[in-house]
Amino acid sequence: MPEEAVVYQRRIVVASRVGLHARPAGLVAQTAAAQPAKVRIAKVSGGAVGDPVDAGSVLSLMTLGAAHGDEVELSADGAQARESVDVLVELIAKDLDA
């Protein structure tokens, strides 16, 4: 019987004043692309998680529409999912425009 994939998820509030747009989106995408596990990100609205997009894509991050103060959920699976998600959570928790 094949082993089930374990998905690691974390939620974080976007700290950047412009949200995940322009420079912050570029930094998050670049960091996500460098991770060993593929990380997906979704905007949380009213407690409901929206459709996840590839966190390694600047365009996907910008179309997500995550503004300052919005909550997002990051997820990944695989052996290094936790490390990959945690790196991005730490980044999104900072004001990347400062």
Q: What angle do CA 53, 59, 61 make, to 5 degrees?
A: 50
In order of 5, 40, 63, the CA distances from 8 in angstroms are 10, 11, 23
Whether residue 22 has pLDDT greater than 60: yes
As given in the structure block, the two tokens for residue 19 are 């949200």
Give yes or no for a contact between 60 and 54, defined as CB atoms under 8 angstroms apart: yes
Mean pLDDT (whole number) for 22-26: 93
Mean pLDDT (whole number) for 36-62: 96
- Mean pLDDT rounded to a whole number for the chain: 93
| pTM of the predicted model as reported, rounded to 2 decimal places | 0.91
